[in-house]
Structure 1
Amino acid sequence: MLPTAEAHDLLDLTRELCERELAPKAADFEARGEFPREVLRTIGRSGLLGLPYPEEVGGAAQPYEVYLQVLETLAGSWLAIAEAVSVHTLACYPVYAHGSEALRKLLPDMLGGELLGAYCLSEPQGGSDAAALTTRATRDAEGRWVVNGAKAWITHGRDADFYNIFARTGAAGARGISCLLADAGTPGLEPQKAENVMGLRASAPSQVLFDNCTLSADRLVGAEGAGFTIAMEALDAGRLGIAACAVGLAQAALDHAVGYAREREQFGRPIAEFQGVGFLLADMATQISAARALLLAAARLKDAGRPFSTEAAKAKLFATDVAMRVTTDAVQVLGGAGYVSDHPAERWFREAKVLQIVEGTNQIQRLVISRALVRG
Structure 2
Amino acid sequence: MAKRAGLDPMGLALGLLNKVAGAPLLERFGLHKPVEKVAYEATRAGFRTIGAATRTFKAVGKLGGAPARLPSAPESGLFDLTPTDEQRMIVDTVAEFAAEQLRPAAAAANESCTPPRELLGRVAELGVGLLGVPEQLDGAGTERSAVTNVLVAEAMAHGDLGLAVACLAPSAVSTALVLWGDGDQQAIYLPSFVGEDVPAAALAILEPRPLFDPFVLRTTARRGPGGYVLNGVKSLVPRASEAELFVIAAELPGSGPALFLVESSASGLTVESEPGMGLRAANMGRVLLDEVSVPATALLGGGSREVYTECVRLSRLGWCALSLGTAQAVLDYVIPYVNERQAFGEPVSHRQGVAFKVADIGIELAGMRLVTYRAASRAEQGKSYAREVALARKLCTDKGMAIGSDGVQLLGGHGYVKEHPVERWYRDLRALGVVEGIVLV
User: TM above 0.5, one fold?
Assistant: yes
Determine which of 280, 300, 310 is the counterpart of 2:377: 300
**Cα distance, 1:80 vs structure 2:** 1.3
**Cα distance, 1:276 vs structure 2:** 1.8
Aligned-partner Cα distance in 1 for 2:323–2:84 = 25
Aligned-partner Cα distance in 1 for 2:126–2:203 = 23
**Match in the other structure for 1:212:** 291
Aligned-partner Cα distance in 2 for 1:88–1:312 = 22
Aligned-partner Cα distance in 2 for 1:199–1:83 = 11
Aligned-partner Cα distance in 1 for 2:436–2:223 = 30
| 1:120 matched to 2:204 | yes
Deviates more, 1:238-247 or 1:130-139: 130-139
Structure with more relative contact order (C-alpha pairs < 8 Å, separation 6 or more) = 2
Q: What letter is aligned with 2:249?
A: F
Query: 2:104 aligns to what SS in structure 1?
Result: coil
Query: 2:260 aligns to what SS in structure 1?
Result: strand
| 1:340 matched to 2:417 | yes
Contact 1:146 1:214 in 2 (8 A): yes
Q: What letter is aligned with 1:160?
A: A
Change (3 A) 1:219 1:197: same
**Match in the other structure for 1:187:** 267
Contact 2:337 2:411 in 1 (8 A): yes
**Match in the other structure for 1:202:** 281
**Match in the other structure for 1:363:** none
Q: Please list every run of 5 or more consecutive structure 1 residues that lacks an aligned counterpart in the other structure.
A: 361-376
Deviates more, 1:45-54 or 1:278-287: 45-54
Aligned-partner Cα distance in 2 for 1:167–1:346 = 35
Change (3 A) 1:325 1:111: farther
Aligned-partner Cα distance in 1 for 2:184–2:117 = 27
**Cα distance, 1:339 vs structure 2:** 0.9
Aligned-partner Cα distance in 1 for 2:268–2:201 = 18
TM-score for both structures, normalised by structure 1 = 0.86
Q: What letter is aligned with 2:98?
A: C
Determine which of 104, 118, 130 is the counterpart of 2:214: 130
Structural mapping, 1:220-231, within 5 Å: 220-223=299-302, 225-226=303-304, 228-231=305-308
Contact 2:115 2:166 in 1 (8 A): no
Give the root-mean-square deviation of aligned CA atoms: 2.3
Aligned-partner Cα distance in 1 for 2:208–2:223 = 24
Contact 1:161 1:184 in 2 (8 A): yes
Change (3 A) 1:111 1:84: farther
**Match in the other structure for 1:158:** 241
Change (3 A) 1:293 1:202: same
**Match in the other structure for 1:15:** 95
| 1:352 matched to 2:429 | yes
Query: 1:149 aligns to what SS in structure 2?
Result: strand
Structural mapping, 1:1-376, within 5 Å: 1-61=81-141, 63-105=145-187, 106-110=189-193, 114-125=198-209, 128-141=212-225, 143-171=226-254, 175-192=255-272, 194-223=273-302, 225-226=303-304, 228-359=305-436
**Match in the other structure for 2:68:** none
Deviates more, 1:265-274 or 1:151-160: 151-160
Change (3 A) 1:170 1:117: same
Aligned-partner Cα distance in 2 for 1:328–1:124 = 25
Contact 1:338 1:345 in 2 (8 A): yes
**Cα distance, 1:140 vs structure 2:** 4.4
Number of residues paired by the alignment? Answer: 353
Contact 1:35 1:202 in 2 (8 A): yes
**Match in the other structure for 1:369:** none
Contact 2:222 2:230 in 1 (8 A): yes
Aligned-partner Cα distance in 1 for 2:252–2:383 = 32
Aligned-partner Cα distance in 2 for 1:111–1:127 = 37
Aligned-partner Cα distance in 1 for 2:414–2:291 = 51
Change (3 A) 1:131 1:287: closer
Q: When you count helix as a share of all residues, which structure comes out higher?
A: 1
Aligned-partner Cα distance in 2 for 1:255–1:125 = 35
Deviates more, 1:111-120 or 1:329-338: 111-120
For residues 219-277 of structure 1, the C-alpha deviation after alignment (integer angstroms, 9 at most, x for no partner) is 22232x42x43222112111111111111111111111111111111111111122221
**Cα distance, 1:47 vs structure 2:** 1.5
TM-score for both structures, normalised by structure 2 = 0.74
Query: 2:234 aligns to what SS in structure 1?
Result: strand
**Cα distance, 1:84 vs structure 2:** 3.3
Query: 1:22 aligns to what SS in structure 2?
Result: helix
Change (3 A) 1:132 1:247: closer
Q: Percent identity?
A: 32
For residues 172-220 of structure 1, the C-alpha deviation after alignment (integer angstroms, 9 at most, x for no partner) is xxx144432121222211112x213111111143221122322233222
For residues 100-142 of structure 1, the C-alpha deviation after alignment (integer angstroms, 9 at most, x for no partner) is 212102223235571222223233348633343233334544x
